[in-house]
Amino acid sequence: MRKFFFDKRPAANEGFHYRGHEVRRIETFSDAVFAFAVTLLIVSLEVPRTFEELLISIRGFVAFGICFCFLMLVWYEQHVFFRRYGLDDLPTIVLNSALLFIVLFYVYPLKFLSTLIFSDNIYGAGRSPFSIRPGQIVQLMVIYGIGYIIIYAIFLLLYIHALRNKIILGLNQLEVFDTHTKIYSHVILISIGLLCILLAYLIPARLGGISGMFYMLIGPAFWVYYSRRGRIRKRMVLAAT
C-alpha cells in the first residue's frame, strides 16, 4: 500500500519534498501491526449458522466500517510522516512503537463503542448482547478520549521531533511552515479530546454519551484552521516565485 501511494504521488507534494524514498523496516513492521489490528476487529466473528445471524453480520458492517476507517486514518497519518521525513532514529522508533501499542490496545474499546452505538440496528431493540449502565457511559467516553488523545499526542511529538531535526533533514522555509501546520493541527485534535472528556464529567451521567458528539467540532475547526493556513502558504509560495 505504501509503495502504491508513493508511486502515484510526486516526489514533491506541492512544495514538500518526500525524504522517505524507500519503505523502511519500521514501516513494514507498522503495516503488519495495523493488519493485525484489523484482524482483531473481526476475529471474534463466527461464520453465520442461520440466516438471522447472517443479517446481524451484515447490519454490523457500519460499526466495522467506522473502526476500519479510524485505523486507516491513523495509518495514513503515519504514512505521510514517514514519506515526508524518512526518519528511523531511536526517538522515532520509540514514539512509533508507542503508537502501535496504543492502536492494538484500543482496538476492542473502539469496536465496543462503535457496536454499542448501532446495537439496536444490528441486533434489534432490546436484543443486543452489548450492555452498559448509565453511570458507565462517562467511563467509556473517558477511556475512548484518553486513547484518542494519546494517539494524536504521539503524532504531535513525532512532528516536533522532525522540526527539531530540520537542519539535518534540510527542510526549507515552506516545509518548516507545513511542519508547524501539522503540529498545530494535532494540538487542535488533542484540545477537542480534552474538551470531550471534561464535558463527560460535567454533564449528567445519563447524558454522558452526548460529550462524544463534540468530536464533530473537528470538521469546522479544521476548515477554519486550514483555510487560514492555506492562505498564508499561498502568499509564501508567491513570494518565493
Look up residue 115 and give its three cell numbers: 457496536
DSSP letter for 12, please.
E
Of all residues in the chain, the percent with pLDDT exceeding 70 is: 77
Query: Residues 6 or more apart from 120 whose CB is under 8 A from it?
Result: 126, 128
Closest to 40 in 3D by CA, of 105, 114, 102? 105
Q: Are 81 and 165 in contact (CB under 8 A)?
A: no
Let me know if 239 is exposed, middle or buried by CB neighbors in 10 A (0-12, 13-18, 19+). Answer: exposed
Look up residue 135 and give its three cell numbers: 453511570
* Beta carbons within 10 angstroms of residue 72's beta carbon: 14
pLDDT digits (tens, 9 = 90+) for 20-51: 777 788 888 999 999 888 888 776 556 666 76
Phi first, then psi: give them for residue 9, nearest 5 degrees.
Answer: -115, 150
pLDDT digits (tens, 9 = 90+) for 118-143: 665 555 555 555 666 666 778 888 88
Lowest-confidence pick of 28-32, 83-87, 112-116, 221-225: 112-116
Q: Are 120 and 56 in contact (CB under 8 A)?
A: no
Owner of C-alpha cell 511552515: 177
Look up residue 154 and give its three cell numbers: 504521539
Q: What is the pTM of this model?
A: 0.84
* Beta carbons within 10 angstroms of residue 216's beta carbon: 10
